[in-house]
Structure 1
Amino acid sequence: MKTAIKLVLIYFVMQILAALLVMPFAMLYSYAVSGTIDAASVIALAPSMLLGFVGMGGYLWKKGYLKDDGRIWSPVSVAYLGWSIIIGLSTIFLIDFVMSRLSFLPDWMGATFDVLQSGWLGIICISVLGPVLEEMLFRGAITKVLLQRYSPVKAIILSALVFGIFHINPAQVAGAILSGGLFAWLYYRTGSLVPGILIHILNNSLSVFLSLHYPDVKYTSDLLGEPAYWSCLAVAAVLFAVSCKVMNSYRLPATDTTFKI
């Protein structure tokens, strides 16, 4: 756990350092355009996030978490990736149901996400670069270390909890714990980051799309309406169960991972 906590703290330090580096340039740009520096923090948000991602990715690579492992970037197989999409979509729907029951939780990051989604760089950071970096950090580094020190069940649970707490925002924590458990299990089963990255990008991209095109819709039930929503929820539960069974029994090449959820 010490390594997990250390890596998370390093990530936050990277983001702070990136913000400090970007802010002077953002202030100059803001002043040149508008004559004030009032918009500097908004201008700096996406670039500093990107710079922080690059810094953390470089750190993970330099420390050997992302290399010397032939399987970490393996696509596994077409069939496995197909089932990953199915389990990912069903999980997204089921987590949406859980979060709709936790709507009382405050959303501390709503304004920040609105700013990020107002520009193409912020959208790319949320929908693509963020998922890739988080999978490298939380599965390629943290889950890998936890699996070396604890039983698979304990390692996956701890990884999910760390991933959830990392998000800080109360409105995101529960959903992040649930999705983090899935991502950690996929990494344990395959030794690859690709299935988790695929689902993570799908999740975040859908979130951005819905936020931009349906800003007044908070949950899927609001978008679909009650009859259709409950039918889709039932289908999602069935698909989740079926995909879990298939992926648990799927024979992966050159692996002895046999943990079942």
Structure 2
Amino acid sequence: MIYFLMQLIGALFAGPFCLLYTYFAYGTFDMDKAGQIAVAPTMLLGFVFMGLYLWRKNYLTGDKHLYSPVSVPYLAWSLLAGMTSICIIGLLMSELTFLPNLLDQTFDILQSGWLGILCISVLGPVLEELLFRGAITKELLRRYSPAKAILFSGLIFGIFHLNPVQIIGACLIGFLLAWLYYKTRSLMACILIHIMNNGLSVYLSLKHPEMEDVTHLLSNPYVLVWAVVFILLLLLSLKQLNKYNISDTNTTTTEL
């Protein structure tokens, strides 16, 4: 709820200025035009207020492991796990085309300018990781067993997106991100995977608008083969990640 509250506050700040802009730019108060212009500034201000809230609550400064670097091999396996998860989710969602995309127009507006692209690709992933892994998952791990905390974290992350076409995929990637955070207490791998996911989505939307996700780059006759390859690579990467002791973060991994 706090995330949406901060976005609402951002809208209250950005809205009047965008409305004034339409008056000076077009000679009239155009609510529709102002609404479109305000989407990216609202998102940016919401992120700023969210960051301030997390800072005030000591979530950004109270944990020395939060920004700790992880070893290069661990990071490489994490990115492989993230990339294969993104592809598997893409294949799954390609079979669930009946799910509506309620935010399609909003994303189109955001991706029409550099500020919106920056918010989706970089600022959003960073702030969401600080909130969902650095704050929510951290608190869940204090209250529940690791398995329950990761399950609850992924479900919360998925439901938070509200958009039906995003919920399932967000839940699944949320499980992975929560597990990676649990293993290291560092957000580095989580943030990079999140940026990779959102960045790929924006890139495909702008450069290949006919494609829904990265899996559409694959040859259709071999989709099942690719699915098996992705699953095997994901299992391999998870197995390797579960073995690691992350010396860079002074964190010893444990079996889940």
Partner of 1:244: 238
Matches of 1:181 and 1:258, distance apart in 2 = 17
TM-superposed deviation, 1:101: 1.8
TM-superposed deviation, 1:85: 1.1
1:143 aligns with 2:137: yes
Equivalent in 155, 158, 163 of residue 161 of structure 1: 155
Equivalent in 169, 172, 177 of residue 166 of structure 2: 172
TM-score by length of 1: 0.93
1:192 is aligned with what amino acid? S
TM-superposed deviation, 1:158: 0.3
Partner of 1:86: 80
- Counterpart contact for 2:39–2:110, Cα < 8 Å: yes
Partner of 2:16: 24
Partner of 2:27: 35
Moved more, 71-80 or 144-153: 71-80
Partner of 1:6: none
TM-superposed deviation, 1:257: 4.2
Partner of 1:259: 255
Equivalent residue of 2:119, what SS?
A: helix
Matches of 1:118 and 1:155, distance apart in 2 = 37
Partner of 1:205: 199
Matches within 5 A, 1:113-124: 113-124=107-118
Matches within 5 A, 1:63-82: 63-82=57-76
Matches of 1:116 and 1:50, distance apart in 2 = 11
- Counterpart contact for 2:9–2:46, Cα < 8 Å: yes
TM-superposed deviation, 1:219: 4.1
- Counterpart contact for 1:160–1:184, Cα < 8 Å: yes
TM-superposed deviation, 1:70: 1.5
> Which consecutive residues of structure 1, in runs of 5 or more, have no partner in the other structure?
1-8
1:115 is aligned with what amino acid? I
CA root-mean-square deviation: 1.3
Partner of 2:6: 14
Moved more, 251-260 or 127-136: 251-260
Moved more, 164-173 or 81-90: 81-90
Equivalent residue of 1:39, what SS?
A: helix
TM-superposed deviation, 1:221: 4.7
Per-residue deviation, residues 143-169 of structure 1 (Å, max 9, x unmatched): 000000000000000000100000000
TM-superposed deviation, 1:65: 1.0
Matches of 1:248 and 1:137, distance apart in 2 = 24
TM-superposed deviation, 1:222: 3.7
- Counterpart contact for 1:189–1:259, Cα < 8 Å: no
Matches of 1:34 and 1:152, distance apart in 2 = 56
TM-superposed deviation, 1:30: 1.3
TM-score by length of 2: 0.95
Partner of 1:4: none
TM-superposed deviation, 1:256: 4.2
> Which consecutive residues of structure 2, in runs of 5 or more, have no partner in the other structure?
none
Matches of 1:161 and 1:193, distance apart in 2 = 19
2:211 is aligned with what amino acid? V
Equivalent residue of 1:192, what SS?
A: coil
Moved more, 218-227 or 30-39: 218-227
Per-residue deviation, residues 164-214 of structure 1 (Å, max 9, x unmatched): 000000000000000000000000000001100000000000000001111
Moved more, 149-158 or 62-71: 62-71
- Counterpart contact for 1:72–1:140, Cα < 8 Å: yes
1:133 aligns with 2:131: no
Which 4+ runs in 1 deviate beyond 4 A?
Answer: none
